[in-house]
Every structure is written in C-alpha cells, then in structure tokens.
Amino acid sequence: MKFRRLAEYFEKIEKTASRLSMTEILAKMLKEAQADEVDQMVYLALGMLRPKYEGIEFNLAEKMMIRVLSTAYGVELKKVEQEFKKVGDLGEIVGGMRPLKSDKDNQSLNGIHHSEIGKDMSVGEVYNRLFEIAVDEGQGSQDRKVQNMARLLKDLDLLGAKFAVRIPVNKLRLGFSNMTVLDALSWMERGDKSLRVDLERAFNVSADIGRIATIFKKEGLKGIGGVKVKIGVPIRAAQAERLPSAEKIVDKLEIFAVEGKWDGLRVQIHFDKGRSRTAATQEALFSSGGKSFVRIFSRNLDNITNMFPEISQAVEQLAVNSIILDGEAVGYDAKTGKLLPFQETIQRKRKHGVGSMSETVPIKVFVYDILALNGENLITKPFRERRKLLEKILHSGGVLQLADQEIVSEAKRLTELRQHYLDLGLEGVMCKKLTTAYQAGSRNFNWVKFKKSAGGELMDTIDAVVMGYYQGKGKRSGFGMGAFLVGVTDEKNCVGSIAKIGTGLTDEQWRELVVKCKKLETKEKPAEYLVDKNLECDVWVKPEIVVEIMADEITVSPIHAFGLALRFPRLINFREDKGVSEATGKKELERLFKLQKTA
C-alpha cells in the first residue's frame, strides 16, 4: 500500500466519532494491506514503530519537530512556533508551512527538494525511514534526526506529511487502542466482532499486536489458534477480582492458595540460557549485561531489564535452560530487612544511576507463578501443578524468593492470614484457585485479592487517570494547583471524571504532581475526556499520569461522567508502574459500587 493511501484512511478515522464506524474503516484498511506490511501499518496507526516492550522511541520532542518544519519548508523558526501556539497541532500546520511554488522556485533548500505532490512512497519505505530516524543515536544524532525527518516530509504529499509529523511526537490522535485493532481484524474476516475472543487470547499470550495481525492475515484463525508463549515476548498479566469478605471468598473458591499481596512492581522475567542476548534484533537495545538472554517486563509491558541487574544475575544462576516467571519486586532496607513502601521501591524504575540506586534500594522478587519452563508452555496447566514446578526451582533467600503459600478452606484462617501479612507491612493477601490455568490479560475470580478493610473506607484503592487541574488559591497558589480532576476509562477508551481532589496531599506530593502535569499540559481538553461543564479544568493534561486513590465510598453522582463519584477521595501513591490501560475501568468501578453494598 502507498503511504498516501494509508494517510487517507487515517484522515477518515480521525474524522469519525463512532467507535463502530472507526472499526469498520480500520477493517477495510487491514483488508487492503499486504501480509508483509500489515504489522507496519498497525504499528503506525497506533503511533509507534515496534511493540511497546521493545522500547523504540523517536526522541523527537515538539521543539525539535518545530525545527524540522522550519528546515523542511524554509519557514522562519519563529513563525512555525507562532503557528503552533495558535493551532496546537503540528500536523495541522503543515499545509500552512508548505508554500505553493512555481516550478522555477521549486528548487533545493538546505539540500531538501521541494515537491508539492510528493513521491509515491510505499508504507514500507516511509516506515523504514522513520525507523532509521528513531534508532539514530550518538554524537550529532539530534541534528541528523532533524535533517532526515525534514527530508521525509518533503518527500511526502501534504496529507502524508500531516500524519508523519504527528507520529514521532506521539500525537497521532486517531483515538483507538490494541483492542480496537483486534475488533477490526475480526471485522475484516467476518464482518462482526465474533472472532475477538480468539484474537484477544492470542494477544494476551503474545503481546505484539503487529505479530498477531501478520499471523491472522497470513494464516487466519488456524494460525491465531497456534500462537504460543514465546521467550522475549511479554504475556499480559493475570489480574485479580475482589470480594467483600472472607466468607464470600471461601464460598466462591472453596479450597484455595493464600499468598501475600505485596505493594511493589509487578515483574515478568524471561530467561533463555541458549539464546545469546546479542541475537535479538531491536530487543538488544535493552541488554541485561549477562551472557544469556534475559528480559524483564513491567505490568504495562515496558522493558525494564537494565534497571534491575541483580534480577538478571539471579535468574542466570537458576538450574534451567529457559523460564518465564511472574512476581513482585519490592525494595527493602539492607540493615533491617524490612520491606519498603511502594514510593521507595519505584525509585528503582529509572534509566540512569542504576548502580548506585541498586545499593540504596536493594530489591527482592517474590515469585508466585511460572509460565514456561525449558521450552514448555505452562499457562494452560492448573495452578497447583505450576506451583509444584516452581517449588523445585526456587527456594527462600536471595533476590528471587519463592512466595510463601498456605492452602485454606476456612474463613477464620483466611482472616488470620490477612492480618499476619498486614502486620508484615503488606497490602493483604491473594487467594488463588488451585485448579485453573493462568488467565493472561484477564480479571476474574481465579484470583481474588483481600486487602485491608478499615472503617469508612472502600475495600480497595482505585487507580485513576489525572485529567487536569484547577489553579490554586491562598497557600496553594505557590504550587500553581489547588485541586485536580481524575477519571477512569470505559470500553471505548474514553476517560470519564469520577472525583475532584483538593485535600489530603502533602506539600511534597503537590509539588510532584505539578511537575508531572506541567510536562503533559495540552491546549485543549483531549477529545476522549468526558467532563461536565461545571467541572471544566483550568489546565488540561494528556492522559498519562496514573494515581492510586482511596475514598470512603462510591456514591451516585448527577455530575460525573458515569453516574458515580468518589466520596472524600485522597491520594495514596503515584503509580508510575501503570499505564492508562492498567488503570481502573468503568466496569470495575461499577463492580466496586455493588460490592460495597454487600460488604
């Protein structure tokens, strides 16, 4: 497919408000694509070049893209800046930046050829040039990125340039996610969403949406049914449901395993002794530093391997050829051995100063599941069998520690265990069915969390998305923020408000929130935000900050987006380990609302 044609599809999607219509357009685009280019088209449509876990980033901020436009079209830098401030969208100002010239004037400028029509480049050609720009690094790379991006824009027509500009700065604005792509693949084949379950199952065990699209395009449903766990490709994490009491949990699960619930960083560890770390292609950008292949993935599929060298070293010492482990990394005090709170553990999630931070905040990984071993896929095996295999490989002590476990069938003992773990500083317990497979990417009653239950509080916290903030008064005028608005997501990827929070933060938390918000400010309210006119923020921010919120209860609300609101909400933590896709959803909020009535 020509990139011009792809840009036409993007424009149709951008102008479409209906989720169903958007899915149908995307399905037509995918049907028209060739099998060897469909992955590139999917990645570009999602505003990226490779799966999230490979960590390929453009490192082209808006300021640099302004330089690109100035260089490409021979327009003064100041003028580009003025237009951007006025319009707020670099893609939209491309047409105004590109002067219509006669053939005589259509000459080379700064070594870049001007063409109004643009070269008839394929999707693959544009993709490859964007990829070369993204991976360019080292001395002089910033200037080369600007020059090469400018050349690409001049080789594209206006519509193509409009979308090519948006991709590197993460502003494609098409408004759909991986799940919409899965719906579109089903629609492409069947004209409805009936294949979504099969496609999502494959994506859950192999979280590379481009790979799923390619397999489905080439091999259809049979190929998708054959997608297996693969070392180096993250499996979407299983998630837990909630029940209001120990008695309800026993009624639901009958006999089950009880483990601690740590407040740390979810980590999925992949190891292959026979696969050299240099054998990986783009994945080699994140090396473990060892001889064998090691990858560590976060809850939201970030590659965090180089942030935890001690985990890589520990897994290389295991007496296995290959393995995938699921667990929780928690910081601890080296002198006392006491586990640290989440906000101290999260300091380990950084790209620089890893060595010194690993000494300041050492970590333990409490491993509670095994998903693959020596080439065998284990996720379909019952939890009881997976646990037995895990017990043969891991023991207490060291960086990788086998999570303590007890089999329970009585509410009294469950309550005692929860209190035991709370006394140790944990959040509570996880209750797990012994007979079920690992439900990748699913939230169901195979796992049930049973956390601290204090009087006048919800039975669990809510992970909400920061949507914007209100200017402060009095003391808070010094922070520049007096309150902030949070919301949860729905099935259409919209974010609906659930609470305005103005109390309960320390001065340090206010300052931290202001810093985070300043980096994400946007001129207009994002199109996916659902906010009543009476709650309009003074400043809107892009939906990227996830915060953990506790409240007294969930109440019916005539003003908040989904008819529900939090009563007396307060900030607990900044959840830097979670993306918006891992935040609490509308359906989950509704379930919590129902649960509090039965508690």
Contacts of 545 (CB under 8 A, 6+ apart): 465, 466, 513, 516, 517, 520, 574
**pLDDT band per the 50, 70, 90 thresholds, residue 402:** very high
345 touches 265 (CB < 8 A) = yes
Q: Side chain identity at 11, as an amino acid letter?
A: E
Average pLDDT over residues 151-170: 92
The catalytic residues are 261
The pLDDT value given to residue 348:
86
Cβ count within 10 A of residue 375: 12
Has residue 290 got a pLDDT over 60?
A: no
Reported as a single tens digit per residue, the pLDDT across 425-470 is: 899 999 999 999 999 998 889 999 998 765 557 878 999 999 999 9
Q: Cα separation of 333 and 339, whole Å?
A: 6
Average pLDDT over residues 344-358: 79
**pLDDT band per the 50, 70, 90 thresholds, residue 475:** low
The pLDDT value given to residue 596:
78
Reported as a single tens digit per residue, the pLDDT across 546-590 is: 999 999 899 999 999 999 999 999 998 899 888 888 899 999 999
Q: Cα separation of 430 and 420, whole Å?
A: 13
Q: Which residue has the higher pLDDT, 528 or 208?
A: 208
Determine what percent of the chain falls in helix, strand and coil, rounding each to the nearest 5: 40, 20, 40
Average pLDDT over residues 411-426: 94
Q: Which of 32, 114, 103, 106 is nearest to 73 (CA)?
A: 114
Q: What is the dihedral of CA 334, 338, 341, 343, to 10 degrees?
A: -10
What does the block give as tokens for 462?
């809510």
168 touches 65 (CB < 8 A) = yes
Please give the span between the terminal C-alpha atoms of the chain, in angstroms, as a whole number.
56
Q: Which of 401, 258, 407, 222 is nearest to 328 (CA)?
A: 401
Reported as a single tens digit per residue, the pLDDT across 367-397 is: 999 999 999 999 999 999 999 999 999 977 7
Ramachandran quadrant class, 114 (left: phi over 0; alpha: psi -120 to 50; beta: rest): beta
Q: Which of 77, 97, 99, 101 is nearest to 89 (CA)?
A: 97
What does the block give as tokens for 389?
């295999």
What is the share, in percent, of the chain residues with pLDDT greater than 90? 64
Average pLDDT over residues 361-372: 96
Average model confidence (pLDDT) across the chain: 88
Q: Side chain identity at 383, as an amino acid letter?
A: F
The pLDDT value given to residue 114:
41
The pLDDT value given to residue 24:
95
The owner of tokens 């009491």 is 245
What does the block give as tokens for 484?
């902030």
Contacts of 54 (CB under 8 A, 6+ apart): 282, 283, 285, 286, 303
What is the share, in percent, of the chain residues with pLDDT greater than 70? 91
Contacts of 15 (CB under 8 A, 6+ apart): none
Has residue 284 got a pLDDT over 50?
A: no
DSSP state letter for 303: B
User: Please, what sign has the CA dihedral across residues 523, 528, 531, 533?
Assistant: positive
The pLDDT value given to residue 61:
85
The pLDDT value given to residue 332:
92
